[in-house]
Amino acid sequence: MHLFRGKIVEFLGLILLLSTSFSQAQEQLLIEKLQQGGFNIFIRHAITPGKDPVKFNPPTERPHDCSSGSRQLNDEGRAQSRRIGQRIKALNIPIGEVYASSFCRCEETAKLAFDRFTSTDWLVVRPGVFKPDLDRALRSVPTQGFFNKAPSGKNNVYVGHGVTFTQGVLSTDFGLSEARIFLEEGEAAVFEPGDKPRILGKIRFY
């Protein structure tokens, strides 16, 4: 019996090792692609108080508002934002335009990671709406083809919210497979531009 259990533990360890190796290989492939430029990177804002999947959004929060009435990055999230920027720079990944939802947690993530950003309404999570309304809102906001465009020699960055891809997908730029991506806070997804942008995988720069 003990021998049988030992074999199971050994087998599970092998599976974990293979899974880790595959994940590292996929990450390295994405890094090599990004180093060449021409892709779009969507980053969920960095860490905020609370636990996923339920995060509390104060009904009083508004765009460009970093007061106590808004959900903001905590100290861990600010440190994570800086690590994201530092690692991208260390990996020699060229960055072009940086866009952010105009909510404080996204703007601050972009500012700390890249020291620059342009706020854009189509990445906004609208305050005070119920889930079905938010889903419809996300689908109706035009992205103006941002994700379809291939940045020349660099990669464009978009800092937004987790619900962008878990509860709905902006406009009709994406196929169904890209409409349900769960990203942890600070995690990123890499998209290949085109008539129908295609997700190449998820990556962590922290």
- Domain containing 92 equals 2-203
Q: In this predicted structure, what is the pLDDT of residue 11?
A: 53
Averages of pLDDT over runs of 10 residues in the chain (206 residues) are: 57 50 81 96 95 80 83 96 98 96 93 95 68 64 75 92 73 62 93 87 95
- Counting Cβ atoms within 10 Å, is residue 99 exposed (0-12), middle (13-18) or buried (19+)? buried
The phi, psi pair for 139, rounded to 5°, reads -70, -25
Distance between CA atoms of residues 160 and 99, nearest Å:
9
- CATH number for the domain that contains residue 110: 3.40.50.1240
Q: What pTM did the predictor assign?
A: 0.82
Please say whether the beta carbons of 165 and 189 come within 8 A. Answer: yes
Q: In this predicted structure, what is the pLDDT of residue 55?
A: 82
Q: In this predicted structure, what is the pLDDT of residue 115?
A: 98
Q: In this predicted structure, what is the pLDDT of residue 17?
A: 47
Strand partners, 41: 157, 190
Please say whether the beta carbons of 1 and 119 come within 8 A. Answer: no
Distance between CA atoms of residues 21 and 16, nearest Å:
9
How many structural domains does the chain have? Answer: 1
Q: In this predicted structure, what is the pLDDT of residue 195?
A: 82
